[in-house]
């Protein structure tokens, strides 16, 4: 509404069904149905980024927007939808091996033809990226591939997923033990998005430097302990609140714990510095 009131002709609504960026939360079916109704009411196309569909660590199922749209009565089952998935996130997590796909549902045939035409005249994903995409959507299966291949794939998958799940719990628990921070439990994806309750002196100091308060906090964290954080001011947030995004991607859990301990020491120094 804010964009429309400002004169912007809004065409689409971008959604991540796990709310992986930046909050690490998983949408309920009701959340998704509300979005479908909103998009129908405002004639918007849903752009569903579903790259984190395998990264769910709590008892919430992944539900695709396609399933939600087609499971609703008319006219909501006619809402235009474009779904995306890629090898760069999820459990595959091969950011360097570019590959993925998009699927069009309820899109006008003329528009679909133009998209196909544009993709046909562009360079395709490299061969390795295409192979990774095939492995993502069609992993080794018993009775099709050798038992050794199936077992090796499952073992690697379990190690990667288990590590991400373990570190998601560690990250949320550690952040909630740090004074001045509060975060939700990480339900999915690769991130936590804690609130920072900054001292007034820190907020004033940031404004004097021409920085958003949470951006100054992130800069000082980088300088003090080498941890790269993304300030919530870059993601959009309610006025007067401050956040940062942090990942659980450090592969060695012990090293990850050490990094969080260093961050905890930085936070104590930061609050001591600006609370005097």
The mean pLDDT value of the chain amounts to 89
pLDDT over threshold 80, residue 96: no
Distance of CA 62 to the CA centre of its chain: 14
Instruction: Supply the pLDDT for residue 209.
Output: 95
Question: pTM score, two decimals?
Answer: 0.81
Query: What is the mean pLDDT of the segment spanning 225-245?
Result: 91
Instruction: Supply the pLDDT for residue 34.
Output: 95
Mind listing the domains of the chain with CATH numbers?
2-137 (3.40.640.10), 147-275 (3.90.1150.10)
Higher pLDDT pick, 88 / 46: 46
> Band of the pLDDT at 151, cuts 50, 70, 90?
very high
pLDDT over threshold 70, residue 269: yes
Tokens of 18: 């796990």
Instruction: Supply the pLDDT for residue 20.
Output: 60
Query: What is the mean pLDDT of the segment spanning 106-118?
Result: 94
Residue 228, classified by CB atoms within 10 Å of its CB into exposed (0-12), middle (13-18) or buried (19+), is exposed
Instruction: Supply the pLDDT for residue 120.
Output: 86
Lowest-pLDDT range of 48-57, 78-87, 140-149: 48-57
Higher pLDDT pick, 42 / 23: 42
Q: pLDDT (tens digit, 9 = 90+) per residue, 182-197?
A: 999 988 888 899 999 9
Query: What is the mean pLDDT of the segment spanning 39-60?
Result: 89
> Band of the pLDDT at 16, cuts 50, 70, 90?
low
pLDDT over threshold 70, residue 19: no
Higher pLDDT pick, 263 / 98: 263
């Amino acid at each position: 509404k804010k964009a429309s009131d400002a004169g912007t002709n809004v065409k689409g609504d971008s959604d991540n069904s796990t709310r992986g960026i930046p909050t690490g939360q998983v949408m309920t079916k009701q959340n998704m149905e509300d979005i479908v109704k909103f998009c129908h009411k405002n004639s918007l196309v849903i752009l569903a980024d579903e790259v984190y569909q395998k990264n769910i660590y709590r008892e919430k199922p992944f539900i695709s927007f396609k399933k939600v749209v087609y499971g609703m009565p008319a006219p909501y089952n006619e809402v235009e939808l474009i779904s995306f998935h890629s090898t760069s996130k999820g459990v595959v997590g091969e950011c360097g091996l570019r590959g993925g796909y998009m699927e069009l549902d309820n899109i006008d045939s003329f528009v679909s033809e133009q998209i196909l035409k544009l993709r046909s005249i562009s360079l395709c994903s490299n061969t390795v990226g295409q192979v990774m995409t095939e492995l993502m959507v069609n992993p080794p299966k018993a009775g099709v591939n050798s038992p050794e291949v199936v077992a090796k794939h499952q073992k690697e998958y379990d190690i990667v997923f288990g590590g991400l799940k373990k570190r998601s719990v560690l990250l949320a628990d550690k952040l909630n033990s740090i004074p001045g921070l509060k975060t939700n439990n990480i339900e999915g994806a690769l991130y936590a998005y804690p609130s920072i309750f900054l001292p007034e002196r820190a907020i004033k100091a940031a404004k004097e430097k021409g920085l958003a308060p949470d951006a100054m906090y992130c800069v000082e964290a980088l300088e003090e302990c080498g941890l790269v954080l993304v300030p919530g001011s870059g993601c959009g947030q309610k006025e007067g609140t401050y956040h940062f995004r942090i990942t659980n991607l450090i592969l060695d859990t012990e090293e990850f714990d050490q990094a969080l301990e260093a961050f905890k020491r930085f936070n104590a120094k930061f609050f001591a510095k600006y609370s005097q």
